[in-house]
Amino acid sequence: MKKKHGSLFTGIGGFDLAAQWMGWENIFQCEKNEWCRRVLAKNFPNTKRYIDIKDFNANEYKGSIDIISGGFPCQPFSKAGKQRGKGDDRYLFPQMLRVIGEAEPKCVVGENVYGIAKTALSEIKSSLEDLGYITIPFDIPASAGGALHRRSRIWIVGFKKDSFNTNSNGIGSHREEVYQQGNVELQYQQIGEFGSVVSESIREGIDTRIFRAVDGLSDRVDRIKGVGNAIVPQIAFEIFKCINLLKI
């Protein structure tokens, strides 16, 4: 059965592209930027789209979504800004948390800049755990996916504790629960190894330039902004592959 995926702060659809590579079904997207929504409409014509996360009520998806992803706005944590963190009105993780609480997906994947580690990561992790998610953050740079620049990012992966079939063989014992928990830990280990081992092996000679096409079209500013804000789908794909191995 295809897993069902929904994305928040979708941008140009990096998470959705990775989900498509997995053969998953993209159920909904939520993106405020008009240009990005045009890109999404072109590339994901069968996916339902919402504009403002503050107006998005996800109760209709309760229990029907397997994975919710979101690269929530990074401006409150980026070194390029004032790093006001939770005091910035663009800090929208609470809205993402609300949607997660309404839809109750089995897995959650978030992404943000490295600066979040010093400002809000601990609270984000705790808030997801309060909703019943086993949650671990990873530092996985773009270089781990083959990019020619490092671009460190924090990836937050959460598995809902009650999403695992601990009675698949008719055994509801503590031993079976420990076995299933071990599977979850294995997936975390694989995600972590992907981020550290792969990126470390190609770190020598990394080109710090970021290549973006400039072709003279009038919308190139939107395009550059869209690419700059986008997640690296190759990284999301590796994380999704680990999630896919779980029997949820």
Length reported for the chain = 248
Dist. CA 78–CA 80, nearest whole Å: 5
Strand partners, 28: 6, 48
Out of 30, 36, 74, 242, the active site residue is 74
Dist. CA 136–CA 68, nearest whole Å: 16
Dist. CA 146–CA 120, nearest whole Å: 28
Strand partners, 4: 25
Dist. CA 67–CA 26, nearest whole Å: 10
Contacts of 44 (CB under 8 A, 6+ apart): 13, 16, 20, 26, 29
* Whether 74 is catalytic: yes
CB contact at 8 A, 144 and 152: no
Burial-class residue 98 by CB neighbours within 10 Å (0-12, 13-18, 19+): middle
- Residues annotated as part of the active site: 74
